[in-house]
Amino acid sequence: MELQVERDVLADAVAWAARALPSRPPVPVLAGVLLDASEDGTLTLSTFDYEVSARVELPADVRTAGRVLVSGRLLADISRSLPGRPVSLTTEGSKVVVTCGASRFTLLTMSVEEYPTLPTLPAASGAVTGGEFTEAVSQVTVAASRDETLPILTGVRMEIEGDRLTLLATDRYRLAVRELRWSPARTDISAVALVRARTLSDVARSLGSTSSLTLAMGDGSSDLIGFQAESRYSTSLLVDGEYPKVRALFPAESPTHAVVSTSALVEAVKRVALVAERNTPVRLRFEDGVLSLEAGQGEDAQATEALEAALVGESIAIAFNPQFLLDGLGALSAPYARLSFTQSTRPAVITGQAELDGEDDDSYRYLLMPVRLAG
């Protein structure tokens, strides 16, 4: 193999592909990045850990085609440190020589024959705007479980029905749902996939800056999901199992709701939560025109604060885990937060509003279980 490629292009591509490298590879070859130079002037970099794969194609001046496997972390570090000049990669026996200006590195190669076959991207299901998908993923993954003993709840459930894409996640204490429009490959498409939240977050961060992101779920029988943006491709194994039927947790109606400035409520919760000991809640009391927040009790440190709030319905007092409440409020992109209640012991639903007296936007809903207070 012999080729030349621009330094910035190479460094960016290697850094992106190296994201999928396992921190503790079960076999040594999985720590490598596969470089495949073809005669048509394309250099393909691939990584795979049996669960997630990443592949990126970049233009190169390929003089001799070939395939080599080298340490992904080391190549990423070297590429990042090279001067801003064209980079040459040449194989010499069992080594790859990286040359850039006066810099020269020699890397040992690993066995290409021992590297696993890379998964094939399923058939495209449709496309979604990158920025909107990134926002949607960040809104729902806050509610995904981090408990690996319950792998199903560490995933985000993706539901496709025609031109509607729904993302859903829960850790049993809160539930986040985001619905958005997208461009399906077929108008009658219907599919469901359960993807690890950390994988989906990584894909959204790394590919979401593009104007269009293609989702590939095949015909629904595949155990893979794929993502493509421009010349970058990623696949992930789906989480196996039956997701709990959590939609029933949303109340059919909420007789009481309050609207308050999102930013003001976030700052107030942060302040009063400073005195909340581990696993103790922040208490909220909604009365006509006023929201009172309290934390701490007894001989411990205490804090109170009051905010303006528009209340519709009966007064209500309710308590929440402060971090869970902040996660839901932080996921809102609207200037006002609407908190809807049935009763103090039942889940509350948080949505956004563009105006104080406007309609709520239920494309994003965050359901939060209250903390039961003693007495």
pLDDT tens digits along 307-317: 999 999 999 99
219 pLDDT band, cuts 50/70/90, is low
Q: What is the mean pLDDT of residues 365-374?
A: 90
Closest to 258 (Cα-Cα) out of 336, 331, 321: 336
User: Is 375 a residue whose pLDDT tops 90?
Assistant: no
Q: What is the mean pLDDT of residues 150-161?
A: 95
278 pLDDT band, cuts 50/70/90, is confident
Q: In 71-191, which ranges are continuous DSSP H helix?
A: 72-81, 130-141
209 pLDDT band, cuts 50/70/90, is confident
Give the pLDDT score at 103.
Answer: 96
For 270-300, b/e burial (b = at least 16 CB within 10 A) is eebbebbeeebbbbbbbeeeebbbbbbeeee
Structural fold of domain 2-108: DNA Polymerase III; Chain A, domain 2 (3.10.150)
| Structure token pair of residue 79 | 């590429």
Q: What is the mean pLDDT of residues 144-167?
A: 95
> Could you read off the pLDDT of 284-343 as tens digits, one per residue?
999 989 999 999 887 778 999 999 999 999 999 999 999 999 999 999 999 999 999 999
Dihedral angle sign, alpha carbons of residues 159, 164, 165, 166? negative
Query: In the CATH scheme, what is the homologous superfamily, with its name and number, of domain 124-247?
Result: DNA Polymerase III, subunit A, domain 2 (3.10.150.10)
Please say whether the structural domain 250-368 has been given the CATH code 3.30.365.10.
Answer: no
**What residue ranges of the chain are covered by domains with CATH 3.10.150.10?**
2-108, 124-247, 250-368
DSSP element (H, E) containing 205: helix 197-207
User: Is 128 a residue whose pLDDT tops 70?
Assistant: yes
